[in-house]
A and B are shown apart, each in its own frame.
Chain A
Amino acid sequence: MARSITVLNLGKISYRAAWQVQRSLLQAHRNDSKNEKSFLSEQHPGDVLIICEHEPVYTVGIREREYSQDEERLKALGADFVRTDRGGLITFHGPGQLVGYPVINLKNYSLGLRKYVSSLEKVLIKTCEMFGLQGKTTKDTGVWIDERKIAAIGISCKRYITQHGVSLNCDNDLSWFDHVIPCGIKGKGVTSLSQELGRKVSLQETEPLFLNSFCDVFGCTLAADEKLAENIFLKADFIS
Chain B
Amino acid sequence: MNKLLSEMRFTEEHEWVRQEGSTPHVTVGITDYAQDSLGDIVFVELPEVGSQVVEKDSIGAIESVKAVSDVYCPASGTVTEVNTELESTPEVVNTSPLEDGWLFKMELADVSSLDTLLTEKEYKDYLHGLE
Q: Is A114 an interface residue (CB 8 A)?
A: yes
Q: Which of A68-76, A84-92, A186-194, A231-239 contacts B (4 or more CB under 8 A)?
A: A84-92
Q: Is A222 an interface residue (CB 8 A)?
A: no
A153: nearest residue on chain B (CB-CB)?
B66
In the complex, what residues of B have CB within 8 A of residue A112's CB?
36-38
Task: Give Cα A142 to B38, complex, Å.
Answer: 16
Task: Give Cα A155 to B69, complex, Å.
Answer: 9
Contact A157 B67 (CB under 8 A): yes
Q: Please, what's the 1-or-0 string for A50-90, where 1 marks a CB less than 8 Å from any CB in chain B?
A: 00000000000111000000000000000000000111100
Residue among B43, B65, B130 making CB contact with A141, cutoff 8 Å: B65
Task: Give Cα A154 to B13, complex, Å.
Answer: 21
In the complex, what residues of B have CB within 8 A of residue A61's CB?
63, 66, 68
In the complex, what residues of A have CB within 8 A of residue B70's CB?
156-159
Task: Give Cα A87 to B67, complex, Å.
Answer: 4
Contact A113 B45 (CB under 8 A): no
Whole-angstrom distance from the CB of A75 to the nearest CB of chain B? Answer: 24
Whole-angstrom distance from the CB of B47 to the nearest CB of chain A? Answer: 14
Whole-angstrom distance from the CB of A185 to the nearest CB of chain B? Answer: 12
Contact B38 A114 (CB under 8 A): yes
Whole-angstrom distance from the CB of B124 to the nearest CB of chain A? Answer: 17
Contacts A34-B56, A116-B67 supplied; 11 other A-B pairs, CB < 8 Å:
A61-B63, A62-B43, A62-B68, A63-B63, A85-B68, A87-B66, A87-B67, A107-B130, A113-B38, A141-B66, A158-B70
A-B contact pairs, 23 of them (CB 8 A): A61-B66, A62-B63, A63-B43, A85-B68, A86-B66, A87-B66, A112-B36, A112-B37, A113-B39, A113-B69, A114-B67, A115-B37, A116-B67, A117-B66, A141-B65, A142-B66, A155-B68, A156-B61, A156-B68, A156-B69, A156-B70, A157-B69, A158-B58
